[in-house]
Amino acid sequence: MSLLTELARDYQAGRTRGITSVCSAHPAVIRATLREGLRTDTVVLIEATCNQVNHEGGYTGMKPADFRRFVEGIAAEVGFDTANLILGGDHLGPNPWRSLPAEPALAKAEAMVAAYVAAGFTKIHLDASMGCAGEPEGLDDETTAHRAARLATVAEATAKANGLTLPVYIIGTEVPTPGGALHDLDDVPPTLASAARETIATHRRVFAEAGLTEAFARVIGLVVQPGVEFGHDKVVVYRPERARDLIAVLGDETQFVFEAHSTDYQPEAALATLVRDGFPILKVGPGLTFALRQTLYGLDLIASELDAAYGNRALAKAMEALMLSEPNYWQRYYPGTPDEQHVLRHYSYSDRIRYYWPHEQAERAVAKLMATLKGRTIPEPLVAQYLAEDAEAVRSGETVATADALLERGVTRMLQLYGRACRPE
């Protein structure tokens, strides 16, 4: 927790340090994250989103206390000390219930925030920026701040009633779409410096009026748009010269750092520059499960080559059948012809296939793949052909050529990229 509260001080002192915020509920991603934290002896920040995990179960079926037990179970399995684990709640607000009128949606958001805090989540992103039924898509600072204060009141009361650590908060009204942009990307302008200043000033005033001055002192960061985003097949890369005016806000508002969402797929140099420029909290989610899917599909091709009984691309075919039979997670997001939609279902950067991995049918297909490759040392030429990014590590002996090791390495490779950006030598 101290790492988060020290980020602003580090930035003001010219010390470059950041933290990766892993936003995923996939066990393989969590396992790789905790093992990498153990290897590097670093604090690990894992966040659940409001749609993923909430008091009603979310799309994972987990409530906040369930998610905590889930993560801590994997930590015990890999030997990671949970004293070095921070759990966060991302986009906590009415988003899952925005089809309802504001009052019932906010009542559900309050219950969700209470459940997160009661479960020991100590980093809370208050996101009340979206409109509910009959309201505009995005709300003004004043309305957003009042709703954020309402949620913070619940969080504070819950922590105090349960004798828990008081949480730190992230605020911000210019919040990128969770999971990536839903439209074609041409340009993503950074948040205006004036808008960032207004957001801070409005929240500071509204929190004070609500008797939450002490809570506002624990607001460590502001979500802004640094000019990064990803869509189905494009990535907008960070250009620091465009964000100079925005970055200058931190020179006056020394309490805060910026939290960068949608950093998935950014080049390592761009991530390192974001940390240097005052965006030391780097959120990544779909990029990790995209890497996981890449590796699974590479192993799928390898199994097809090694064992005729396995079949031709059995995993990919099983996932296609599943997504076609249950299209609710992708259909309204992926436009185009049937062929174009096929490509997006499997390979889009937005990685909506991640919603299907917990499905029983997908789990059976993955289990079949891993059972087919269990006990085998995969020939190096097949690694070079289908998992080219791992071939050198296999040749050098850094990684053994087994399915389990290669699957974890696919995610770890991405985590290490973020780790280097957050901890430059």
CA nearest 60: which of 96, 85, 32, 110?
96
Q: What is the mean pLDDT of residues 323-347?
A: 97
CATH of the domain at 354: 1.10.400.20
- Report the chain's mean pLDDT, rounded to a whole number: 95
**Residue 60 lies inside a defined structural domain of this protein:** yes
If asked whether residues 295 and 257 sit together in one domain, one would say: no
Please name the helix (run of DSSP H) or strand (run of DSSP E) that holds residue 221, with its range, or none: strand 219-223
Cα 414 to the chain's mean position, in Å? 13
pLDDT of residue 64: 98
Of the pLDDT bands very low, low, confident and very high (cuts 50, 70, 90), residue 179 is: very low
Looking at residues 204-227, what average pLDDT do you find?
Answer: 98
Q: Is 262 exposed, middle or buried (0-12, 13-18, 19+ CB in 10 A)?
A: buried
d(CA 43, CA 34): 9
**Would the pLDDT of 177 be above 60?**
no
Looking at the fold, whether 74 and 96 belong to one and the same domain comes out as yes
Is the separation of the CB atoms in 385 and 318 below 8 Å? Answer: no
Query: pLDDT (tens digit, 9 = 90+) per residue, 251-262?
Result: 999 999 999 999
Q: In this model, does residue 243 exceed pLDDT 60?
A: yes
On the question of pLDDT at 217 being above 50, the answer is yes
| 181 pLDDT above the threshold of 50 | no
Q: What residue ranges in 69-209 does DSSP mark as E strands?
A: 85-92, 123-126, 168-171
Residue 270 shares a structural domain with residue 300: no
Residue 30: inside a domain, yes or no? yes
Q: Region 49-62: what's the mean pLDDT?
A: 96
> Maximum Cα–Cα distance for the chain, whole Å?
69
Among left, alpha and beta (phi > 0; psi -120 to 50; other), residue 322 is: alpha
Query: Where residue 173 falls among pLDDT bands split at 50, 70, 90?
Result: confident
pLDDT at residue number 143: 97
* Residues 302, 305, 306: CA angle, nearest 5 degrees: 85
**pLDDT tens column, 317-327:** 999 999 999 99
Query: In terms of residue numbers, what domain contains 130?
Result: 2-284
Q: Name the domain boundary from 284, 314, 348.
A: 284
Percent of the chain with pLDDT over 90: 95
* Beta bridge pairs of residue 223: 259
Is the pLDDT reported for residue 305 higher than 70?
A: yes
For the cut 70, the answer to whether the pLDDT of residue 184 exceeds it is no
Give the pLDDT confidence of 118-133 residue by residue, as tens digits.
Answer: 999 999 999 999 999 9
48, 38 contact by CB (below 8 A): no
pLDDT at 6: 96
Q: Check pLDDT > 70 for residue 176.
A: no
Considering the domain architecture, whether residues 275 and 294 belong to the same structural domain is answered as: no
Q: Is 306 within the bounds of a domain?
A: yes
pLDDT at 104: 98
Of 319, 314, 320, 288, the residue nearest 301 (C-alpha): 314
Q: What is the pLDDT of residue 39?
A: 97
